Structures are given as structure tokens and as C-alpha cells.
Amino acid sequence: MNSNDKKYEQLIERAAQLAYQYEIEYFGCSQTTLAGLIEAFGIGGPDLLRASTCLAGGVARRGLVCGALTGGLMMIGFLTGRDDLEMFAQYQRAMDYANLLYSRFQEEFGTVNCSEIQKMKFGRTFDLQSQEEREELHKKMAELQDGCQSVTSAGARMAAEVMSEIFEQGLPLVSMLACAK
């Protein structure tokens, strides 16, 4: 983090703490990551949170792309994405920031795959389509401090860091969002 980002440190830490807490309490990694970002920064809201519902558990509980990453990507898209299909510059801008977050996440965990992260954290994967296996995962998470909640915390932190970079660029959408706070 560069010195210009220091003013965002508290927001970044708050987003990470909230994502950790929400994952333990509510589960649903895409939503808990995004909820931490929404609450910490005061940007977004129930519609954005609702849209992230089906991305939890590696997209529809399939163990694919980690929800902590997809929740963060949703916020990046919300901040920098296009409002209509003809906005090619905004599309590219959003993809550039998305790639930045994706790369940081992959570097941190060595993968973006939910099942592979489960194996690293718990020594095995869980079939998140099964209620029994989800309950077992949630029980394991309660026993560990370094389970999925640490991934949502790290994902929220990384996304918040990218958000601070976006804000430092002074993008027009960010100015409008800051006025809405």
C-alpha cells in the first residue's frame, strides 16, 4: 500500500474484519465478503448484495471460483463497470481492475478455486451441494480461526485495497458515490 492509500487503512481493515465476522455468523462467502465492503465503505446496498447470492461456495456451491474473490469482483464492477454495452472504455477499465484483484488473490492463495482452498484450509474438500457436508464445513470453521472466514477477510482486504486505488484515481463514478454517502 502506498502512502496515498493510508487514509483508507481503517476502511480496508473494517471491511476485512466484517467479512471475517459475517462468514462465521451467516456463511455465504460471496455475500459476506461483499457485505463487509458495502458496510465499511458505505457504497452499494441490498440490490448489489442480493446479486451476489448465487456466487457463494464457488458459484452455486459447485466449488469453482472462490466466493471471496467473486464478491470482491462484484464491487469492482459496481465501481468501475459500464452502464450500457456501448461503454467500451468502462468495460476495459473494469476488466483492468478485476484482473488486478484476481492476480492478487491468486498470488495470495496459489489458486482461485474454492475446492482447492478448502483442501488447503481443511485437508479435504466438501460437497457444498450436500446439507450434511455444508454443516460439517461450518462446524470445522467454528473450530478454526483460519478457515473460510480468513479467506473472506483476505478477499475483502484485497478488494478494499483495489477500491482505494480506484478512489485515488478520482474516477467520475467514485465522485458521485462519495457524494451519496
Name every residue whose Cβ is closer than 8 Å to that of residue 65 and which is 6 or more positions away in sequence. Answer: 55, 58, 59, 112, 113, 114
Burial code (b: 16+ CB inside 10 Å, e: under 16) for 157-176 equals bbbbbbbbbbbeeebebbee
Q: Look at the block and give the residue holding cell 476502511.
A: 11
What is the pLDDT at residue 181? 41
Is pTM beyond 0.85? Reply is yes
Range of the domain at 128: 3-180
Is the pLDDT higher at 116 or at 168?
Answer: 116
Q: How far apart are CA 104 and CA 101, in angstroms?
A: 5
pLDDT digits (tens, 9 = 90+) for 36-56: 999 999 999 999 999 999 999
Q: How confident is the model at residue 173 (pLDDT cuts 50, 70, 90)?
A: low
pLDDT digits (tens, 9 = 90+) for 9-33: 999 999 999 999 999 999 999 999 9
The residue length of the chain stands at 181
Specify whether the CB–CB gap between 37 and 156 falls below 8 A: yes
Domain count, the chain: 1
Q: Above 60 in pLDDT, residue 176?
A: no
pLDDT digits (tens, 9 = 90+) for 112-151: 999 999 999 999 999 999 999 999 999 999 999 899 999 9
